[in-house]
A and B are shown apart, each in its own frame.
Chain A
Amino acid sequence: MGPIDAALITEYFERYAAALEFYAGQRTQAAADCVQEAFLEFARLPELPPDPAAWLFHVVRNRSLNAARAAQRRTNHEQAAAEHSTAWRRVASPVETVALLDLLQSLDDARREIVILRIWGQLTWEEIATVTQSSRSSVQRNYVHALEQLKQQMEPRECPTKTSADLR
């Protein structure tokens, strides 16, 4: 192997593989393939990039976009949307995880992407702006809006609980 050896690949795999697959799974069913190809490309690099995590998310994003476009060419729009929904439910298997992560589905693609990159990808605002090809201020604004939207969607679920507690 080159300058990026097996130990380094293992380290980044353990830290980011799940988040990368979750991130790619927002767009394509072939999320695992995207992650694996991204790590292989990572291993082929002649030198370590300045921010390996941002590099990995950037590559996975491009690959998932390409995979999604290819899938969309193969099927019609409705079938692709159905497959996308199925893939989402397959990834989020635990019940408690599904409850929270399902809320992400209510966000639009751009805001959901920012939340994932920030919370699970642990990228800085500059890195997120680079990956999503937008400005830092736009990323921060969308992030706050996404959190507020999630909070609003969580409140109706919490209301019955509060109501039942109050009744007791």
Chain B
Amino acid sequence: MSDENIRRSALDETLSPELSRLVEQLAGTALPATTVSRDELLYRAGWDAAERKLAHRSSSSDRLAGRFTTVGWSAVSALVAMSLTVAVMWHRPSQPTNESIIVRTSEPSTSSPVETAAARTAVEPTAPTEVTIERQVPMFVMPREYDRSATLLIQREQALRYSTLSPGSWNDLRGPGATRTSPARAKPSSARELLQEFLPDVKRDDVT
């Protein structure tokens, strides 16, 4: 490193000869060699640049993926909300739903037994008749109608159970609320009697 390399200025021109000589002497003094390894420095610089490039790419792709994820979730949640709204609007009954108890019966003049839905193992009926029981979603049902519907359903279940009893065990059957001293009951001879006994609330005209 010589003084020719120094960018000379007006100040350097105004220095005294002794000071100029001192400057030349200092500039001619070789500094100790650096302890920094040039190869290591270049290696680290290259590695650093590669890391920054990789980080930049991954961050930009993350941003893109995050944006797509947000849009996707928004679309899915909007679809779910719309589906739920449509489902609730369609399912909400404007009128009570009906459930039918099918009472299958034959001609009144014939002696063939009347069959109820409880006796599904019997012979196929000729003219099914429907007794309509209103069954509604509880929140839309009037309490009295709901009680009646529940009573009818319970009685239908009892009829189903009793119809499968043998004649012998029928005598042992005691009705609802019966005590040990209650008299034995005779099994109804026909399905009509059975129905009249266990469905007392159903008018006779309903069962034809």
Contact = CB atoms under 8 A, between A and B. Distances in A.
B23 A147 contact: yes
Contacts, number: 101
Interface residues of A, number: 43
Interface stretch (A2-10, A61-69, A75-83, A160-168): A2-10
Given A21-B35, A91-B32, A148 B19 contact: yes
A101 B27 CA distance: 11
Interface residues of B, number: 32
Q: Give the interface SS of chain A, mostly helix, strand, loop or mixed.
A: helix
B11 A140 contact: yes
A91 B32 CA distance: 6
A18 B114 CA distance: 117
Q: Give the interface SS of chain B, mostly helix, strand, loop or mixed.
A: helix
A36 B40 CA distance: 9
B15 A22 contact: no
B42 A10 contact: yes
Interface string B27-60: 1011111111010111011101100100000000
A10 B34 CA distance: 13
B22 interface: yes
A39 B26 contact: no
A147 B5 CA distance: 19
Nearest to B26: A119
Contacts of A148: 19
Interface of A: 1-2, 6, 9-10, 13-14, 17-22, 32, 35-36, 39-40, 43-44, 91-94, 96-97, 100-101, 115, 118-120, 122, 124-125, 140, 143-144, 147-148, 150-151, 154
15 contacts: A1-B49, A13-B38, A20-B34, A35-B36, A36-B36, A36-B41, A40-B48, A43-B49, A44-B48, A97-B32, A100-B25, A100-B26, A122-B1, A122-B6, A147-B19
